[in-house]
Structure 1
Amino acid sequence: MKSPRIRFTHIAGLVLLSLLTITAGGWGVLALIFSGSSSDMVRSILAAAFAGVSLAALIALGSRRWRWQAVAGYFALFTVLLVWWLSIEPSNERDWQMDVAVLPYATIEGDLITVHNIRNFDYRSETDYTPAYYDKHFDLRELEAVDMVASYWMGPAIAHIFLSFAFTGGGNLAISIETRKEKGEDYSSIKGFFRQYELIYVVADERDVIRLRTNYRHDPPEDVYIYRISGSIENGRRLFLEYMRKINALKTQPEFYNTLTTNCTTSIWLNTRVNPTHPPFSWKILASGYVPELLYEYGRLDAGDLSFSELQQKSHINARAQPADDTADFSRRIREEFRNDAPATH
């Protein structure tokens, strides 16, 4: 008769194998649905077949006679599926949506940086616009501040976070890390786990990437906040250079977006690691809507003696952005309520 310890170990092992089988089965079905054949029918058949095999393997775990053969066969099949999935490669050659069709890149000559293909669309509505791009020279020595932009559309826990770099003389360059979608493709958080979107750094005029969210997105509307980051200006310069290296790398070697590991906030955090005092990782980076509060807690926002709720209220820019619209001093007008203009960086 088996001892209680052996029985417990046996049962725990079966439970673990069952959980692994269920997890592998669920992941495999979704991978085949989202990343499989271009034919809907073929994807459905393959996903259903893998679901059936997963269920059979799960049932076989209850049979002493077939248990280990089933486990070996199932995970051999799963390994084949995983090798196929890992072989899917990102590409820059697709039929892209107009707003992400043109990749930015930078020419770096010491402190002098020329940014090419800065997006500056003329919007009539969210989907009706005239594409336009320009190139601009930046002197890294003239970087004077870094701002964080947070845009909310579905409650306090979810926000799109991006940075804007301010240079002497009113030059602001916004960089938003997003999914690069093909024509007719919508965003799905679930699809974002399955190599369905390439990653793009949208380098844009603030009258484009901020005004789009404050003035032209209405379904649902977005609430946009701008926070001044505090810290050493040298940190900001290193971060800007890291962004430039990244956009150049993506032009030659595309990467996949991932809902969890390579999204707007985790990518920012990964880029900040060029600085020795980068913020530590936190669950609030995954729940992106709480990133401003996280930075406030670490003293990384230029808040003075304001509470976070007071700072948040002052940082809300929709009411200032809407009348500013496409004016030449848009960037200045949306910042009129900032506590001060002291230089600050990430």
Structure 2
Amino acid sequence: MIGWSVAVVALLILLWQGWIWQSLVIYVVMFVLLRRWWASLKPSNDRDWADDLARTTHGTIQGDLVTLHNVRNFNWRTEDDYDICWETREYDLSRLHSVDMTTSYWGLPAIAHVLLSFGFDNGDFVVFSVEIRKERKELFSEIGGFFKKFELSIVATDERDALRVRTNVRGEDAYLYHTRLTDVTARQLFVSFVEEANKLATTPRFYHSITANCTTLVFNMLRRIIGGLPLDVRLLLSGYLPAYVQKHRGLQLDYSLKTLKQRGRITQSAIAADQAEDFSWRIRQGIPGWEPETLPSGQAPIK
């Protein structure tokens, strides 16, 4: 980017000095070379990936039964110390009971990672996370996300993996919101995640900081399912996404956004629950929409 900018400034100087045709020819040559280089960058599923993104989630759907392969269930102690575990799990869509949205912050309030948790009435939860597929020792870069630096990945994980690693290991601040998606929409969204994951498993795609990230990919899925959702700057400033969802009646209606955020902060409860078997239930204590009387048969989701 710096080199291109310097070259363009130099050409403008030449243009100002009367080297009109020479400047235009040089610029056209530069542009053609740039386009050829850009077109030569191809996404791939064959790289030296980081352990937590080494496999791609994919699945099969037969009626109500979904079989997911490569569901991540790492036991994280530190960023560099963990037990690797990939599992095959089955989910019955007829028992799909809830969809929760988690926003996890690590710096600026406008930027957050967004994860969706699907809950079933037998106490099972699975999280879908849209992420960059990092190579080993590679670090995320917002600018790199504009320039084909990273591949796109959809990872299905256990909640004690996806949420706990962010709060307990990486020191992020996480908030969980219980959504008001209907059973039909929740089912269609789950199926959409599986279908998108299957596509990426066979046809790699680049991550893009605006058009293909953790928020816009989910937004496009929902827009295909229910339609009528308008574009909004909060789809890019993902830290403010809960306000967008609330505006379109996607969160609990009897509470202000301030209350939902205060009661939905799961950072401390996740740290306290740590590796407990009932991690998913502990982090939902007191969250609007997760009152005991709203659960199937009045039971907590995990016992």
- TM above 0.5, yes or no, is yes
Q: 1:292-337, CA deviations, whole angstroms, 9 ceiling, x for partnerless residues?
A: 11111221112x4221111100000112111211112111111111
**One-letter amino acid matched to 1:62:** W
Superposed CA deviations along residues 89-109 of structure 1, whole A, max 9, x for unmatched, are 011110111111111110121
Residue 324 of structure 1 aligns with which residue? 273
For 1:122-201, list aligned pairs within 5 A: 122-201=75-154
1:198–1:256: 8 Å Cα contact kept in structure 2? Answer: yes
Amino acid across the alignment from 2:26: G
Aligned residue number for residue 251 of structure 2: 301
Please tell me the residue identity of whatever aligns with 1:184.
K
Q: In 1, distance between residues paired with 2:247 and 2:224?
A: 21
CA contact (8 A) 2:273 2:283 kept: yes
Aligned partners of 2:70 and 2:32: how far apart in 1?
A: 42
One-letter amino acid of the counterpart of residue 129, structure 2: S
Report the counterpart of residue 210 of structure 2 in structure 1: 260
Deviation at 1:137, TM superposition (A): 0.9
Q: In angstroms, what is the RMSD of aligned CA positions? A: 1.7
Deviations 1:18-65 (A, max 9, x none): xxxxxxxx4xx4xxxxxxxxxxxxxxxxx4xx55542332113324x4
Residue 135 to residue 147, structure 1, CA distance change in 2 (3 Å): same
Relative to 1, partners in 2 of residues 1:185 and 1:333: Cα closer, same or farther, differing over 3 Å?
same
Deviation at 1:77, TM superposition (A): 2.1
Letter in 1 for 2:29: A
Give the count of matched residue pairs.
Answer: 292
Matched AA of 1:305 = D
Secondary structure at 1:279's aligned position in 2? coil
How many Å apart are 1:80 and its aligned residue?
A: 2.4
Secondary structure (helix, strand or coil) at the match of 1:332 reads helix
Q: Residue 222 of structure 2 is aligned with which of 263, 272, 295?
A: 272
User: Structure 1: how far apart are the matches of 2:289 and 2:198?
Assistant: 34
Residue 150 of structure 1 aligns to which amino acid in structure 2?
T
The Cα shift of 1:66 comes to 2.7
What is the letter of the counterpart of residue 298 of structure 1? H
Over the matched positions of the two proteins, sequence identity in percent amounts to: 40
Do the aligned partners of 2:70 and 2:86 also contact (CA within 8 Å) in 1? yes
Q: Are 2:197 and 1:247 equivalent residues in the alignment?
A: yes
- From the two aligned structures, give the one with the greater helix fraction: 1
Q: In 2, Cα distance between the equivalents of 1:123 and 1:297?
A: 36
- Per the alignment, do residues 174 and 274 of structure 1 end up closer, same or farther by CA in structure 2, a change over 3 Å counting? same
Secondary structure in 1 aligned to 2:16?
coil
Q: Please, what TM-score do these two structures have when normalized by structure 2?
A: 0.91
Give the Cα–Cα distance (whole angstroms) in 2 for the partners of residues 295 and 333 of structure 1. Answer: 24
**Equivalent residue, structure 2, for 1:283:** 233
Partner of 2:301: none
- Decide which of 224, 237, 261 is 2:187's aligned counterpart: 237
Deviates more, 1:283-292 or 1:121-130: 121-130
Q: Give deviations 1:127-177, integer Å, cap 9, x for gaps.
A: 210111211111122111111010011132111111111112111110111
Q: Which runs of 5 or more structure 1 residues have no equivalent in the other structure? A: 1-25, 30-46
1:55 partner amino acid: V
Which structure's CA Rg is the greater one? 1
Q: How many Å separate the matches in 2 of 1:68 and 1:232? A: 63
Corresponding residue number in structure 2 for 1:91: 44
Map of 1:69-108 to 2, 5 A cutoff? Answer: 69-108=22-61
Q: Which among 5, 10, 13 is matched to residue 59 of structure 1?
A: 13
CA shift at 1:68, angstroms? 4.2
What is the distance in 2 between the residues matched to 1:240 and 1:211?
A: 22
CA contact (8 A) 1:238 1:274 kept: no
**Counterpart AA for 1:60:** L
Deviation at 1:273, TM superposition (A): 2.1
